[in-house]
Amino acid sequence: MSAVIEGHHDDHHHGPAKGITRWLYTTNHKDIGSLYLWFSFIMLFIGGAMAMVIRAELFEPGSQIVSPEFYNQMVTNHGLIMVFGVIMPAFVGLANWLIPMQIGAPDMALPRLNNLSFWILPAAFGVLLATFFMEGGAPNFGWTFYAPLSTEYAPPTVTYFIFAVHIMGASSIMGSINVITTILNMRAPGMTLMKMPLFVWSWLITAYLLIAVMPVLAGAVTMMLMDIHFGTSFFKAGGGGDPVLFQHIFWFFGHPEVYIMILPAFGIVSHIIETFSRKPIFGYDSMVYAIASIALLSFVVWAHHMFTVGMPIAGELFFMYSTMLIAIPTGVKVFNWLSTMFKGSLTFETPMLFAIAFVALFTIGGLSGLMLAIAPADFQYHDTYFVVAHFHYVLVPGALFSIIAAVYYWLPKWTGYMYDEFMGKTHFWLSFVSVNLTFFPMHFVGLAGMPRRIPDYAMQFADYNMIVSVGAFLFGLSQLLFLYVVLKAIFYGKKATGQVWEGAQGLEWTLNSPPAYHTFETPPNLEAGEAKG
Amino acid sequence: MSSDSSYYVPESSKLPIFMAFGLLLFVLGAGSTINDLGKESSNSYILLMTSFAVIWGVMFVWFSNVINENNKGMYSDQLNQSFVWGMAWFIFSEVMFFFAFFLALGYVRMFSVPWLGGEGEKAITNILWPAFEATWPVMVTPDNELFPGAEKNMNMPGITKLHTWLPFWNTLCLVTSSGTIALAEAALKKGKRAAFKSWMVVTISLGFIFVFLQGLEYYEAYAHMGLTLGAGIYGTTFFLLTGFHGFHVCLGAIILTIMTIRGFGGAFSEHDHFGLAAGSWYWHFVDVVWILLVLVVYVF
């Protein structure tokens, strides 16, 4: 099948336009994928800089560098940017680049909508960052923006925040409609659902989750807007409402959101592990069912984020048990990855190193999550650094490592140039050591009772906090090395072959590196089973 | 419809970036307008109005382009199927938006109001306002000075007085219009264009009557019933649920009006009328939401 595709060039389609308008007007999934990925990369450094401010402030106890008010703005915007501006756009960027190539489609189903989905993101984040320079300062109520902190006690910029969130939500919904339509409607003939690559499967389910919960977030911020400016009482007990209602609505969005940030990672890691184990993924079907189960369960576990808020005991128990259930499909995935590696011909290139680190460290994050799921135990852990350690383990060596792994894995395909393997491995080991140095001690201070979201802490936590800060600075610097490796590959890298990796399977590897501007203008005809994995 | 088998990928387009610019103006305009509410000299609304002009302008050109491309036969069956999926998932996202508000109403009615009134395991919240008695609709709010409760509510007055009750007529309008648009579509599919056009006119008339009656109801609420946005949780949920629904009816009616105008201009064929079909799905969706809404907001 490769002979049909390689070097294929259609005369009545041109290459990319020249100059800035290429990026402003583009309808090409590869261009839009690159835009998303670079946007995410830039936001990683902005959000990362905020993390550095936080860790500098916490380097020693006592008020050190910034005012408590500014510290709150840092914590809030670090969270918002990392969640909505880094992890999600990076996964959408990967979806844009990879899904059409993996399913043999000419582009995304709705190319102009695709461009719109991207370009409203810089608008939303531009407004969000501009609030730092407005009266009252940037949002300071945490990325979860609980009422009444975000309503009665919020700075006036909360109004801009609300509309910015609306725009981010619109971007996600339009992007997801595009992804889901592409997957359902544009697969090459012969690629049935259960033959789709796992990254495509993970995104199909992620897109479904996004369309299901982003509107609920829109509803939550709309209620905030009404409470703040139009006298309603959704979150005001004096009128018969309830501030806890906000938490319920937020986490009804928030918990599926957590899986939105990890399901595509599952897909990525599955591809990388099978490639460098030179074996097809173990238990493909069970991988698909596990992703689907995790997604469905994510709708009925939200209140485990709010065990201490005062729920009836029946609620506490229901959400405790439903949360624990998630460990089962997640365990299936972890064991499938291990079984794929078992007796494989393993090699340890940079993407594989990041993928293996993902499996190990994500599992640590998952297990601390299981500890947090135990309602009576959570009364002790709630809002401590243990929670911070938990979600950073699933988001940094989890989601972020999978994105970095994906970039190393597919960069030669996208650009046509190999990255520097030695520098890549250096980047990995620096990141691996520093990420654990940063987040592992947080477990200890958390269990000992250090609360999250505070600019100062008791003397007894000083040693560990200093270690954490040193680890965080090292991790931050390591990501500059990542930028260097990527740029070096693009400008000075060695030519990559179309296959790139010896063990890589799937349609994207049948294309040239870099692929033509338009690929699969005529869909490849697949024999049964050929595209699996 | 075209028989061209290749999937049409537009070369590049200025429309999305203009739309993104319009939405940027909207965020800035809406944010500053709302923050300046109550201030005297504020020009923020100009920015907001400009953003609407840009957004509607781009939408007009965008839809025109899509219609022209379709008329030129550039769209394959597969691409039309993409539109079908796209619209279906968009409606699903709208369903979930309403779900948030129904969830809020359900939570308030089942949990927080009874708890404030001293029922159940979490009745400790009752110590905040010990005099508060939980009823639904909440006519006397816990803090009745800050949130003066309504004097009257919108509940169904009983079967015999049904004709005096606006939501009854509203329901009649909307359910009938869902039927008439189905008749319009059926007529179009059979090529009976005159019947198609008449049923469309009937449908949009019913839609606008609904919007008018809803407006009348809001006027009654504010002028004679003391039922306002500030009237505690009952007013809050009443206005937000019916308000967002009414907003969607307006949108749907505008969409269908445009489709009717296009129909009079000779657009749509027996087999190719996705714009109309999508508008009709949207219309059925607002109808279904209304039926649920009548049940939980007005009747029970």
Report the C-alpha gap between A223 and B240 in whole angstroms. 9
**Burial class of residue A9, CB neighbours in 10 A (0-12, 13-18, 19+):** exposed
| pLDDT bracket for residue B4 (50, 70, 90) | very low
Tell me the residue type at B162.
Answer: L
Active site annotation includes A517: no
Write the pLDDT tens digit of every residue in A143-155: 999 999 999 999 9
Residues in chain B: 300
Residues B107 and B20 in one domain: no
Report the C-alpha gap between A359 and A124 in whole angstroms. 33
Report the C-alpha gap between B49 and B29 in whole angstroms. 8
CB pair distance less than 8 Å for A231 and B228: yes
Residues B68 and B192 in one domain: no
Structural domain of B158: 76-299
**Burial class of residue A345, CB neighbours in 10 A (0-12, 13-18, 19+):** exposed
**Domain annotation covers residue A7:** no
Residues of chain A contacting residue B122, judged by C-beta atoms under 8 Å apart: 310-312
Q: Is residue B219 over pLDDT 60?
A: yes
Report the C-alpha gap between A355 and B57 in whole angstroms. 47
SS3 (DSSP) at A218? helix
Report the C-alpha gap between B100 and B96 in whole angstroms. 7
For position A482, which CATH number holds?
Answer: 1.20.210.10
Amino acid B157: pLDDT: 85
Tell me the residue type at B106.
Answer: G
Amino acid A24: pLDDT: 95
Closest to A482 (Cα-Cα) out of A428, A411, A413? A428
| Domain boundary pick from B21, B49, B75 | B75
Amino acid A13: pLDDT: 53
Residues B92 and B234 in one domain: yes
Token couple for B249: 């009816």
**Domain annotation covers residue A532:** no
For position B13, which CATH number holds?
Answer: 1.10.287
Segment A21-35 shows an average pLDDT of 95
Write the pLDDT tens digit of every residue in A449-471: 999 999 999 999 999 999 999 99
Token couple for A513: 């590196």
**Domain annotation covers residue A530:** no
Write the pLDDT tens digit of every residue in B183-210: 999 999 999 999 999 999 999 999 999 9
CB B280 within 8 A of CB B263: no
- Chain A and chain B share a number of CB contacts under 8 A equal to 231
List, as one string, the DSSP characters of B158-218: -GGGGGG-HHHHHHHHHHHHHHHHHHHHHHHHTT-HHHHHHHHHHHHHHHHHHHHHHHHHH
Q: Within 10 Å of residue B234's Cβ, how many Cβ atoms? A: 28
Active site annotation includes A255: yes
Q: At what angle do helices A421-447 and A462-492 cross, to 10 degrees?
A: 160
Residues B15 and B140 in one domain: no
CB B210 within 8 A of CB B250: no
When the pLDDT of each residue in chain A is averaged and rounded to a whole number, the result is: 94
Q: Is residue A1 over pLDDT 50?
A: no
**Could you give the angle at the alpha carbon of A241 between the alpha carbons of A239 and A244, nearest 5°?**
145
Work out the widest C-alpha separation in chain A, in whole angstroms: 71
| Domain boundary pick from B75, B110, B141 | B75
**Burial class of residue A296, CB neighbours in 10 A (0-12, 13-18, 19+):** middle
Residues B135 and B89 in one domain: yes
Residues of chain B contacting residue A21, judged by C-beta atoms under 8 Å apart: 12
pTM for the whole thing? 0.94
Number of domains into which chain A is organized: 1
Q: At what angle do helices A350-373 and A263-277 cross, to 10 degrees?
A: 140
CB pair distance less than 8 Å for A226 and B85: no
CB A54 within 8 A of CB A465: no
Report the C-alpha gap between A153 and B213 in whole angstroms. 38
Active site annotation includes A305: yes
Amino acid A461: pLDDT: 97
Active site annotation includes A402: no
**Domain annotation covers residue A27:** no
Chain B contact for A193 (CB, 8 A cutoff): no
Query: Which ipTM was obtained for this model?
Result: 0.94
Report the C-alpha gap between A102 and A203 in whole angstroms. 12
Residues of chain A contacting residue B15, judged by C-beta atoms under 8 Å apart: 112, 116
Amino acid B123: pLDDT: 64
CB pair distance less than 8 Å for A115 and B16: yes
Report the C-alpha gap between A358 and A428 in whole angstroms. 11
> Residues 253..292 of A with a Cβ closer than 8 Å to B: which?
none
Residues B268 and B187 in one domain: yes
Active site annotation includes A270: yes
| pLDDT bracket for residue A262 (50, 70, 90) | very high
CB A519 within 8 A of CB A511: yes
Report the C-alpha gap between A336 and A522 in whole angstroms. 35
The answer for A3, left when phi > 0, alpha when psi is -120 to 50, beta otherwise, is: alpha
Please state the φ and ψ torsions of residue A17, each to the nearest 5 degrees. Answer: -70, 165
Residues B22 and B96 in one domain: no
Report the C-alpha gap between A282 and A288 in whole angstroms. 12
Structural domain of A272: 35-510
Please report the beta strands in A308-456, taking only residues with DSSP state E, as ranges in sequence order: none
Residues B269 and B133 in one domain: yes
Give the contacts of B95 (CB within 8 A, at least 6 positions apart): B285, B289
CB pair distance less than 8 Å for A522 and B10: no
Q: Is residue A7 over pLDDT 90?
A: no
Residues B131 and B251 in one domain: yes
Write the pLDDT tens digit of every residue in B53-100: 999 999 999 999 999 999 998 999 999 999 999 999 999 999 999 999
Residues B18 and B88 in one domain: no
Write the pLDDT tens digit of every residue in B145-175: 999 999 999 988 888 888 889 999 999 999 9
**Range of weakest confidence among A305-309, A381-385, A512-516, B124-128:** B124-128
| Domain boundary pick from B46, B75, B104 | B75
SS3 (DSSP) at A58? coil
Token couple for A302: 């939200």
For position B119, which CATH number holds?
Answer: 1.20.120.80
Partners of A384 in beta bridges = A451
Chain B contact for A32 (CB, 8 A cutoff): no
Q: Within 10 Å of residue B175's Cβ, how many Cβ atoms? A: 13
Token couple for A385: 């650094």
Report the C-alpha gap between A381 and B2 in whole angstroms. 62
DSSP letter assigned to residue A510? G
Amino acid B163: pLDDT: 85
Give the contacts of B265 (CB within 8 A, at least 6 positions apart): none
Amino acid A221: pLDDT: 97
Residues of chain B contacting residue A248, judged by C-beta atoms under 8 Å apart: 103, 107
Segment A484-496 shows an average pLDDT of 96
Closest partner residue to A215 among B21, B93, B138, by Cβ? B93
CB A227 within 8 A of CB A294: no
Report the C-alpha gap between A367 and B194 in whole angstroms. 67
Number of domains into which chain B is organized: 2
Residues B43 and B98 in one domain: no
Token couple for A428: 């990995």
**Proportion of chain A above pLDDT 70, given as a percent:** 96
Residues B214 and B185 in one domain: yes
Report the C-alpha gap between B105 and A224 in whole angstroms. 15
Q: Within 10 Å of residue A448's Cβ, how many Cβ atoms? A: 14
CA distance A215 to chain B (A): 5
Closest partner residue to B85 among A180, A218, A249, by Cβ? A180
